[in-house]
DNA sequence: CTGTTAGCGCCTTCAT
DNA sequence: ATGAAGGCGCTAACAG
């Protein structure tokens, strides 16, 4: 029917009945707007009978409080900004999801922004979120542009850093020790007999996770009297194909490393791809390891040795910490969560 | 130093200097707040010299406009709600990321909420976002609780549905034809000679993607005079281990299907895991296919035959559509984007 | 327990 | 090109 079809097109905002306000609810319930506000925010202070009348009016009018007005008056928007490099990396998505669940349960909305590993962009999007009125922030990583902290301080916004530990304890942080993770992994590889290592990493500039993970590997090597030849290290974007291409360069080295550490599972699996293409057998010819213990790594043939990092717990704990600060409770200055090596089929003693 | 350390603790909000307002900027620049507002929103109407003075004052005071006040006054918050089942599914994360980029470029903030495949929860979180003042919405999927549309209509919020097509054109939608995707895939398998099929799917209740993908498979079978025995179909959560367990049940069937269609790559890879565990060879003994063409599937041994769905394009287009509606432009009533079968090593003619 | 009152910070006529 | 003034919807302070 034409009439029906005509009705389907999105209507201009002007044609929509104006949304009802606290005043409308007050009128219908025969109370003042102050009582409506109290019914919503401090129901225990309202006479049960009045409360009932107000609630009925709210339902009838489909009243939903105007968040901006509330935020303006109460100086709290009940929104938290989550600023992450990219949710394309599955593990940041998991942390973000856990954070979202905690915030939602406490009545906070989560505003998400990405900066694609660009510290300047990170400051920019954070200022956008300040502009939009978010009350507090969660960031990924420990290192950030000093301008970011200036911005946060000048607006008095609480924040929590995640996915790392702040050695100086200058900022509240919830995370794990990235350096210790690759340190442990490298020690394990050394224990298997490996002496010649390669590294597949994200660019370390402005990226403390990558920096620390590389440092952990180098520290373990140094402790065993070994060293990483920079010619055996490759840096590139977190992308399977890019990682595979870098791995081909490592495979071309002579002598060739017998163990390659990826700073996360994407690099490691990209490396495995290159090995398949080049006919290099894992783990007989070459051992390879990742970090973050993704499904991607665990389902490879052979399955990838990796490190289970507590990404979900980080998101959850970050949510708790940021809410604590928002509600005036002190919160932990920092929380360091445990990781765990998961040994699978991609590692073995070196050939010969 | 103790003094320094003492300074590291998060300060209570009260100790923070009050953020500067347009009034402060006006005073410093020697103009009225109206001019400050114009300098920000209609700079071409302001004398260049005055503009310069105002901008200088803004920088000096680190002034950031108060979004809530602006939203209250202008009745637009410049925030868009993205309501997705879960960003844990990597593909929704990619769509969300693309959406975020488009919104950010246009000055909109993205508020993210998840509902974990619960339609009632979807209405609940959407109302939360309305409460927080978002101007418009993007949802995943075509089917939703009618109460959701009532809510949106009663608040006059524009919205766009994604990841599917609305056959009735009742709602603006940006997506692809899920049914056609599995239809094409099943036809391809039939062409290889398969006659006995299994299905690994998400629960279809309230999930149009799963429903349509299952329907596409059944339609292709019917067209070839075949049918899916419901005893060869299994439904469960989008989770590798869960999918593997369901696949073990299918593998126990006698006679056993020679081809199993997963409604996405997680199910298919979970299925491959079970086959490895059971010693069933792919593709010699059994063919298996996914949908969404993830890295997870592409890197398996053998690599998974799948369907490249335009998940990034969907996010981008949804952003454009929702912005168009927000800015009063009409926008397309719906956009259907193409998909593409990607044939890899997990499919072959049936045994014997 | 409830009503009255006074803004929160900004944008937007209406004047000038 | 700029200023003065009112009010968006709500909550906090103060009465009663």
Give which of B305, B315, B297, B351 is closest to B184, Cα–Cα: B305
Chain mean pLDDT for chain A: 93
d(CA B251, CA B62): 65
Return the domain boundaries, chain B. Answer: 5-74, 79-176+311-337, 178-309
- The sign of the torsion formed by the CA atoms of B83, B85, B86, B87 equals negative
Distance of CA A279 to the CA centre of its chain: 36
d(CA B53, CA B292): 54
pLDDT digits (tens, 9 = 90+) for A185-216: 999 999 999 999 999 999 999 999 999 999 99
Query: How far: A109 CA to C4 C1' (Å)?
Result: 33
| Mean pLDDT, residues A74-101 taken together | 95
pLDDT digits (tens, 9 = 90+) for B183-235: 999 999 999 999 999 999 999 999 999 999 999 999 999 999 999 999 999 99
Q: Which of A11, A133, A301 sits opposite B67 (nearest CB)?
A: A133
Is A240's Cβ below 8 Å from some Cβ in B? yes
Cβ within 8 Å, pair A19-B77: no
Q: Is the pLDDT of residue A9 over 50?
A: no
pLDDT digits (tens, 9 = 90+) for B127-172: 999 999 999 999 999 999 999 999 999 889 999 999 999 988 999 9
% residues pLDDT > 90 (chain B) = 88
What would the CATH number be for the domain defined by B79-176+311-337? 3.40.50.2300
Q: Is the pLDDT of residue A337 over 90?
A: yes
Q: Number of A to B CB contacts under 8 A, please give it.
A: 180
Q: Is the pLDDT of residue A283 over 60?
A: yes
Chain C bases closer than 7 angstroms to a protein Cβ: 1-5, 7-13
Instruction: Give the Cα-Cα-Cα angle B94, B291, B286 (nearest 5 degrees).
Output: 145
d(CA A253, CA A80): 48
Instruction: Give the Cα-Cα-Cα angle A99, A104, A107 (nearest 5 degrees).
Output: 130
Q: Which is higher by pLDDT, A64 or B197? A: B197
Q: Which is higher by pLDDT, A53 or A19? A: A53
Give me the helices (H) in B197-256, please. 208-223, 240-251
Within 8 A of A17 by CB-CB distance, chain B residues are 154, 156
Please give the residue of chain B at the shortest CA–CA distance from A334.
B9
d(CA B81, CA B114): 11
- Which residues contact residue B204 at a Cβ distance below 8 angstroms, ignoring those fewer than 6 apart? B210, B211, B214, B235
Class of domain B178-309: alpha beta
Query: A275: number of CA atoms within 13 Å, CB side?
Result: 25
Q: Is A206 left (phi over 0), alpha (psi -120 to 50) or beta?
A: left
d(CA A119, CA A205): 10
Note whether A79-176+311-337 and A178-309 share their fold: yes
Q: Is the pLDDT of residue B17 over 90?
A: no
Asked if residues A298 and A268 have their Cβ atoms less than 8 Å apart, the reply is no
Cβ within 8 Å, pair B154-A62: yes
Q: Which of A72, A109, A325 sits opposite B111 (nearest CB)?
A: A109
Burial B98-132 (b: 16+ CB within 10 A, else e): bbbbbbbeeebbbbbbbbebebebbbebbbbbbbb
pLDDT digits (tens, 9 = 90+) for B85-107: 999 899 999 999 999 999 999 99
| pLDDT value of position A16 | 57
Class of domain A5-74: mainly alpha
- The sign of the torsion formed by the CA atoms of B327, B329, B333, B336 equals negative
Taking residue B338's Cβ as centre, other Cβ atoms within 10 Å add up to 11
pLDDT digits (tens, 9 = 90+) for A110-133: 999 999 999 999 999 999 999 999
Supply the pTM of this predicted model: 0.92
A202: tokens are: 């994200």
| pLDDT value of position A352 | 83
Asked if residues A216 and A180 have their Cβ atoms less than 8 Å apart, the reply is yes
């Amino acid at each position: 029917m034409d009439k029906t079809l005509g009705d389907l097109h999105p209507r201009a905002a002007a044609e929509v009945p104006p949304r009802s306000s606290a005043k409308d609810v007050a009128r219908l319930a025969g109370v003042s707007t102050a009582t409506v506000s109290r019914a919503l925010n401090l129901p225990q202070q309202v006479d049960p009978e009045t409360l009932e009348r107000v609630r009925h009016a709210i339902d009838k009018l489909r009243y939903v409080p105007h968040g901006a007005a509330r935020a303006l008056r109460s100086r709290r928007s009940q929104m938290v900004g989550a600023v992450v490099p990219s949710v394309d990396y599955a593990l940041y998505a998991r942390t973000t999801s856990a954070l979202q669940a905690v915030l939602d349960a406490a009545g906070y909305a989560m505003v998400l922004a990405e900066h694609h590993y660009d510290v300047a962009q990170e400051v920019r999007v954070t200022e956008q979120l300040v502009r939009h009125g978010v009350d507090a922030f969660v960031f990924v990583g420990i290192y950030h542009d000093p301008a970011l902290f200036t911005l946060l301080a000048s607006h008095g916004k609480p924040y929590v850093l995640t996915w790392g530990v702040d050695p100086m304890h200058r900022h509240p942080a919830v995370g794990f020790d990235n350096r210790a993770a690759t340190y442990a992994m490298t020690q394990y590889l050394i224990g298997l007999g490996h002496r010649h290592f390669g590294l597949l990493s994200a660019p370390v500039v402005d990226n403390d996770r990558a920096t620390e993970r590389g440092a952990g590997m180098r520290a373990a090597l140094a402790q065993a009297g070994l060293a990483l030849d920079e010619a055996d290290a490759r840096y590139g974007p977190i992308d399977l194909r890019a990682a595979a291409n870098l791995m081909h360069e490592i495979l071309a080295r002579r002598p060739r490393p017998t163990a390659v550490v990826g700073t996360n599972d994407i690099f490691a699996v990209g490396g495995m791809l290159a090995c398949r293409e080049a006919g290099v057998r894992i783990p007989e010819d070459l051992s390879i390891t990742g970090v973050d213990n993704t499904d991607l790594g665990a389902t490879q043939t052979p399955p990838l040795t990796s490190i289970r990092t507590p990404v979900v717990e980080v998101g959850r704990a970050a949510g708790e910490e940021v809410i604590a600060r928002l509600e005036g409770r002190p919160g932990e200055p920092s929380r360091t969560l445990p990781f765990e090596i998961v040994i699978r089929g991609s590692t073995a003693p070196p050939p010969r």
